[in-house]
Amino acid sequence: MKINRRAFIEISVGSALGAGAGITLSPLPWKLTDDSSIWTQNWPWTPVPKGGKVTHADSICTLCPGGCGIRVRKVEDRVVKIEGKEGYPVNNGGTCPLGAAGLQLLYGPWRNPAPLRRVGKRGSGEFEEISWEDAINEVTAKLADLRDKGQSHTVACILGSDRGTVPQLFARFMKAYGSPNFIRSASSGDTYELVLGLMQGASGSVGYDLDRANFILSFGSGLIEGWGSPIHVIQAYSKWRSDNKKERATIVQIEPRLSNTAAKADKWYPVNPGTEAALALGLAHVIVKESLYNFDFIENHAFGFEDFNDATGKTCMGFKRLVLSKYTPGAVSKITGLSAANIVNLARAFAKAERPLAVWGRGKGTTPGSLYECMAVHALNALTGNINKPGGVSTSPQVATQQWPEVTQDAAAWKGCGMPRVDGAGTSRYPFTRYLPERWPEVINTQKPGAIQALLVHDADPHYTILDHTAVAKAFDSIPFVVSFSTYMDQTARNADLILPNPQYLERLEDLQTPIGLQRPVLGLLRPVVSPQFDTRHAGDVVLAIAKGLGGTVADSFQWEDYESLLKETMGDKWDTLEEAGCVEDASYTPPPWNNAFGTASGKFDFYVTALDQAGMKIDKDVGCLPHYQPIVPEGDPGTYPLILIPAELIRLADGAIGNPPFCTKCLSDTVLKGNDLFVDVNPETAQEYGLCEACRATIETPTGKAEVLVHLSHGIMPGLIAIPKGLGHTAYDDYLAGKGVNANSLMGVTEDPISGLCATWGIRAKLTRV
């Protein structure tokens, strides 16, 4: 089946797509036998358990944000298998390839065996083992020296999350010590959190009632590629494909590439990348024009739908006039490349469904994305009245735990915390954003050299995951003192001065709050199921030791004896349930009704976002406070870089802070990775234009870097685009992962959203030249 520029409109599920989808999802068994040396039984470091007593223990997987419950099978004290835990509210017995391969990460050679001090050039991987006493004393002395010099604000901390007792312990330490620079990794959840705050006046993360929705309109979300809580979403997906008419749902995928989600959808509509907001508003045009919206919600619980007069008496444009005047199907068709007829038909189908749900967040949701795009998609849920309804979208609260005493701050801490954040979050330019983790490298490199004198990193790998690796590496090189708490020798740890290894997730105790995307609050307990394999120490205990070593008011803010006693105290009356059941779920939780759901100034759902207006955040004087299409232009000159490179995320390829386990890497298709060479997807029409062919070697170059790749011809990507898998190109870990493929992040630059300041990069201009 060929798809040229004219015919590249949509593919419906049928015989042709069924065959294509089967190939896309094929396990390719011949791939698995081409190198027997990589299999578990032949790895020299793999323990072979002796016979013994078989037991099982329950815990939680933390290898991705999904937070799945797991059941671990052991022979004596040796883990031999990881399965999903039956009945756990997040995943109910299911597990993903990464979760199943977790024991390889437990026993693999990439574990940091003890506290390590760098002895060679940064990044060389040359370390020496030191005692825990020496390691903690070295960190304490460095931090004490900076504080004595009045430079406590030059200490920064980067974490993978801000939920749970361990992240909050780090945040508390920074406040007591005297630094405003507590930073955590960002995702599409951050942008949706902003949208919920701006349009609904709500505080919390987004929750989707996927199980009860019967029309899923996905704007690029990789629903079976690891988006949200992966197993929870995949299990919902299986219901949508069920023969049970009450559970079955229509799935429509909007994205420029034939992902597995697109291949398994009822309809796949490829649109020009970066134009999703325009499409959402075009759908809104049809819904409004044909009066297909929920009249009760719009008339009684929405503000800014119709034109209105502001405090000065000036007439302000409402959402209705905006979409009717600017986003006609014809105009949107020219922007997106999707026909006007398809736009009209899709809008009608979505609005007439009983429980329609529009979901947002490209791929796995690892990139924050455009604020206005998210607002436009969220507006579709509002138009259909599917806010806080069964099968709809809502704000998900966290399970309440015991509050800690207020931090005691001395003059040094008060002064330090009053200094500007190094990432610019919370300033007058970005007043609504709490963290901007992609900004600090640029700030250090171009604006404030020396702004970070010490960097603490826990549960994150910013040296690998932050876009524009050249800039990130330069920023790291300028920081005099880097401390990693990583369990593994990841890229950040390899470039650290000290490594204070945290126990692996199967070895430690910790709480885990509701994963992003779940509607009902769940508090889980991570429990050690196996004895520590190495000389590691819980990061919570290390923070407590450093705080006590600093003395004064810093120590006064940490009165707990150890992390375990802190955790038990914080869980309060929930501790016994957590120990017994492994989690606490508020199964009775239901989102509040419309008349009590919105904390905006209007007390309603804000189509016209008053908070943006009051903060002076209008970009366009007419429509700046309404959801609208504000193009995020990909970096690069079209003349020099005629193509556009977009990332592709795969369920069998971890692309966050955790490196891909060998099993998952070996399961990758031969059209993704061959030996150490990475493939990029190119449409045959584009390949012909640039003299490329299947499996030929080429150089891909963008404004931020270049690399050598192999070409895979695919009709499943729009002409003019290149798709590159995320998750490879590591320089750390070991031979099973290091040196394989290309780090897609090294080829992508940071394009900031003009309102949130978060990274809105969806692609970058590129050129592809045959070698």
With tokens 């419950």, the residue in question is 69
Beta-sheet pairing, 155-159 with 522-526: unpaired
Amino acid 588: pLDDT: 84
Cα(125)–Cα(119) distance, integer angstroms: 9
**Residue 270: partners with Cβ closer than 8 Å, 6 or more residues away:** 8, 9, 10, 255, 256, 257, 258, 337, 338, 718
Structure tokens given for 501: 């290894």
Amino acid 246: pLDDT: 85
Amino acid 45: pLDDT: 55
Considering the entire predicted model, what is its pTM?
0.93
The DSSP element (H or E) to which 400 belongs, if any, is none
DSSP states of 649-707: --TTS--SSSPPPHHHHHTS-TTTEETTEEEEEE-HHHHHHTT--TT-EEEEEETTEEE
Helix residue ranges, H only, 582-625: 610-614
Beta bridge partners of 59: 70
Amino acid 50: pLDDT: 79
**Residue 213: partners with Cβ closer than 8 Å, 6 or more residues away:** 249, 355, 356, 357, 391, 392
**Amino acid of residue 343:** I
Give the tens place of pLDDT for each residue, 673-710: 999 999 999 999 999 999 999 999 999 999 999 999 99
Q: Shortest CA distance to 383 belongs to which of 276, 266, 290, 308?
A: 290
Q: Shortest CA distance to 517 belongs to which of 650, 361, 353?
A: 361
The DSSP element (H or E) to which 647 belongs, if any, is strand 643-648
Beta bridge partners of 12: 267
What is the C-alpha R_g of the chain? Answer: 26
Burial of 651 (C-beta count, 10 Å sphere; 0-12/13-18/19+): buried
Give the tens place of pLDDT for each residue, 461-474: 999 999 999 999 99
With tokens 């800039």, the residue in question is 471
Q: Are 663 and 101 in contact (CB under 8 A)?
A: yes
The DSSP element (H or E) to which 702 belongs, if any, is strand 697-702
Low pLDDT (below 50) residues in the chain: 1-41
Burial of 304 (C-beta count, 10 Å sphere; 0-12/13-18/19+): buried
Cα(16)–Cα(55) distance, integer angstroms: 48
